Amino acid sequence: MALVISKNWIGGEWSIPMNGKTIINNPSNLQEQVGTVNLSDESDVLQAEDAARKAQKKWAKLTGAARANYLNRMADGLKENLEELATLASSEMGKPIGEMKGEVNRGIHLLRYYAGEGVRSNGNVIPASDVNVMQYTKRVPIGVVGIITPWNFPVAIPIWKLAPALICGNALIWKPAEIASLTATKMVEIFEKSGLPAGVLNLVVGKGSDVGKTLLEKVNLNAVSFTGSSVTGSLVAQTCAKRNIKYQTEMGGKNAAVVMNDADLEKSIPMVLSGAFRSAGQKCTATSRIIVESGIYDEFIEKIQKGVAELNVGPALEENTYLGPVASKIQFDKVKSYVDIAHKDTTIVAEPKLSINSEGYYVSPIVVTGADSDHQLVQEEIFGPMATILKANDFDDAIRLCNKTVYGLSASLFTNNLSSAHRFLDETEAGMVRVNQETAGVEYQAPFGGMKLSSSHTREQGQAALDFYTETKTCAIKYF
Ligand code: NAD
């Protein structure tokens, strides 16, 4: 693959920012350079603000149907370039190619779904108290929106923000994660071909602590949509609250899969494994805690051991890879530090020896027992291929353990008991709750987001995204 360089796209022009460079090596094979990320400074961010402000009003004046045409062409472009984009993204951040193609496909569906919103109802007629008054609501664009995204879904997360924001008539300044900036550049090159008017979408590549901070502190934004860690999210929220900028922060998780005595283990184990280890555990909805009812505990351990032994760890571009490397040196060091803690404090149930021919950021999938429910392995987001098993005495104990976390993103129950299923959906403190399905996995047409420290209590995707990217105007006309 030819070397890729990141660029900014501001006001419809490509430029290479000059505030330093980061070399990106393929996490599946550190000998292979994928490209160079060129970093922006404050002046690039301010230029993007200017471009977005100039473009927004005209974009908002178009009909929803006209904006939808652009989104549909963006989807067409992604479809034509699916293989190339997925290959670049897998090489940049290590997600297995099969999953990455699925992610690009998700992006295509998201764009088409939100294109449809351009011609759907955007308000309600509300009876007025007075005679001869027509009172109604309409959604209006919020203005210029800052979009700050993480690296773990380098295609789908940006699109689930960009697509609803654009269809609602906003102009955008997008700052992707540093280690997903090559993919971001390629995506915007594809989107450019849709003919999007200059300044409606602006890409500014750079460090969070620099470009992200400037965007939040110096730009006259009307809204910010952020996905990333809870630590950064809390900074984003504080800055936005001080400046009265509308914000949403979608953040970390410590998600539990609960397996009851009556679960169908043959069907449940593959879903638990997929939730914990696909994408090397680097999904905000990944299963990080497995809570198992005591009656099947020993059988479950035996089966999960066998299941983990069969997982294929390998380079992201090999089709039969189940989990690839973690995304970067920072991720590798962080996950390894938790693996060291596991070796010191817990019993290792599964940690197969790896045999891979290339040097990369590979971490063996690891399952542990023996950590109590307060232990840092059970409480902190690891964001890697590690799961901790906890034993529950009964259903109530399982719910107690499941809710014993500061996070509240997703949770799953495996059971054949209808009452347990309903009680779980009622009593679990998480935004995404599922029965007999893995903790990871979202549908673009349904609201997505968390409770507690996982979110600013806003929701993305589905119709919920339209609420964030618009303001509601209540209109009234008296006629005589
Ligand atoms: P991160 O918080 O380090 O970075 C996220 C984004 O914020 C990046 O673009 C980064 O450059 C930027 N940033 C960093 N510091 C900033 C600052 N001071 N001001 C403004 N922007 C700043 O997160 P990450 O490592 O990229 O992503 C992993 C995290 O994302 C995990 O915690 C994961 O759970 C979370 N995540 C959440 C969801 C969700 O929808 N809830 C989805 C995916 C990932």
374: CB partners within 8 A, 6+ apart: none
In the annotation, is 284 catalytic?
yes
Pocket lining: 360 vs ligand 1, CB cutoff 6 Å: no
Other residues' Cβ atoms within 10 Å of the Cβ of residue 383: 24
Pocket lining: 229 vs ligand 1, CB cutoff 6 Å: yes
Q: Whose CA is nearest to atom 12 of ligand 1?
A: 208
Q: What does DSSP say about strands 451-452 and 407-408: parallel, antiparallel, or unpaired? A: antiparallel
> Cα separations (Å) of 425 from 303, 357, 391, 398, 461?
26, 45, 20, 13, 21
pLDDT of residue 386: 98
Mutate to test the pocket of ligand 1, among 207, 226, 232 (most ligand atoms within 8 A of CB): 232
At residue 156, the 3 state secondary structure works out as: helix
Q: Whose CA is nearest to atom 4 of ligand 1?
A: 228
Pocket lining: 151 vs ligand 1, CB cutoff 6 Å: yes
Nearest to 269 by CA among 311, 320, 312: 311
Tell me, in angstroms, the distance from the centre of ligand 1 to residue 146's CA.
14
> Cα separations (Å) of 35 from 2, 30, 296, 316?
8, 12, 49, 17
Report the helix count and the strand count for the chain, using DSSP H and E: 15, 21
Pocket lining: 381 vs ligand 1, CB cutoff 6 Å: yes
E strand intervals along 111-215: 133-141, 144-148, 171-175, 201-203
Separation CA 53–CA 58 (nearest Å): 10
State the catalytic residue, choosing from 99, 117, 178, 284: 284
The amino acid that residue 168 corresponds to is C
Pocket lining: 383 vs ligand 1, CB cutoff 6 Å: yes
At residue 40, the 3 state secondary structure works out as: coil
pLDDT of residue 280: 98
pLDDT of residue 1: 79
Pocket lining: 458 vs ligand 1, CB cutoff 6 Å: no
pLDDT of residue 100: 98
Pocket lining: 350 vs ligand 1, CB cutoff 6 Å: no
Separation CA 468–CA 403 (nearest Å): 28
**CA angle in degrees (0–180, nearest 5) for 382-187-467:** 70
Ligand 1 atom closest to the Cα of residue 284 is: 34
Mutate to test the pocket of ligand 1, among 148, 213, 239 (most ligand atoms within 8 A of CB): 148
Tell me, in angstroms, the distance from the centre of ligand 1 to residue 414's CA.
30
Record the tokens describing residue 308, joined without a space. 């983990």
* Residues in the chain, total: 480
Tell me, in angstroms, the distance from the centre of ligand 1 to residue 152's CA.
9
Tell me, in angstroms, the distance from the centre of ligand 1 to residue 111's CA.
23
Tell me, in angstroms, the distance from the centre of ligand 1 to residue 408's CA.
17
Pocket lining: 250 vs ligand 1, CB cutoff 6 Å: yes
pLDDT in tens, the chain (480 residues): 789 999 999 999 999 999 999 999 999 999 999 999 999 999 999 999 999 999 999 999 999 999 999 999 999 999 999 999 999 999 999 999 999 999 999 999 999 999 999 999 999 999 999 999 999 999 999 999 999 999 999 999 999 999 999 999 999 999 999 999 999 999 999 999 999 999 999 999 999 999 999 999 999 999 999 999 999 999 999 999 999 999 999 999 999 999 999 999 999 999 999 999 999 999 999 999 999 999 999 999 999 999 999 999 999 999 999 999 999 999 999 999 999 999 999 999 999 999 998 899 999 999 999 999 999 999 999 999 999 999 999 999 999 999 999 999 999 999 999 999 999 999 999 999 999 999 998 899 999 999 999 999 999 999 999 999 999 999 999 999
Is-contact 433 424, C-beta < 8 A?
Answer: yes
pLDDT of residue 26: 98
Domains 4-251+455-478 and 255-443 belong to one CATH topology: no
Tell me, in angstroms, the distance from the centre of ligand 1 to residue 450's CA.
15
Tell me, in angstroms, the distance from the centre of ligand 1 to residue 149's CA.
6
Separation CA 342–CA 113 (nearest Å): 43
Separation CA 370–CA 247 (nearest Å): 40
What residue spans define the domains of the chain?
Answer: 4-251+455-478, 255-443
Q: What does DSSP say about strands 386-392 and 8-10: parallel, antiparallel, or unpaired? A: unpaired
In the annotation, is 402 catalytic?
no
Nearest to 42 by CA among 219, 203, 185: 219
Mutate to test the pocket of ligand 1, among 42, 284, 285 (most ligand atoms within 8 A of CB): 284
Tell me, in angstroms, the distance from the centre of ligand 1 to residue 424's CA.
29
N-terminal to C-terminal alpha carbon distance within the chain? 70
CA 424 to chain CA centroid, nearest Å: 25
Pocket lining: 228 vs ligand 1, CB cutoff 6 Å: yes
State the pTM of this model.
Answer: 0.98
Nearest to 412 by CA among 252, 253, 255: 255
Provide the 8-state DSSP code for 18. -
Nearest to 212 by CA among 174, 159, 254: 174
State the catalytic residue, choosing from 250, 381, 438, 460: 250
Q: 4-251+455-478: what fold?
A: Aldehyde Dehydrogenase; Chain A, domain 1 (3.40.605)
At residue 448, the 3 state secondary structure works out as: strand
**What does CATH list as the number for 255-443?**
3.40.309.10
pLDDT of residue 441: 86
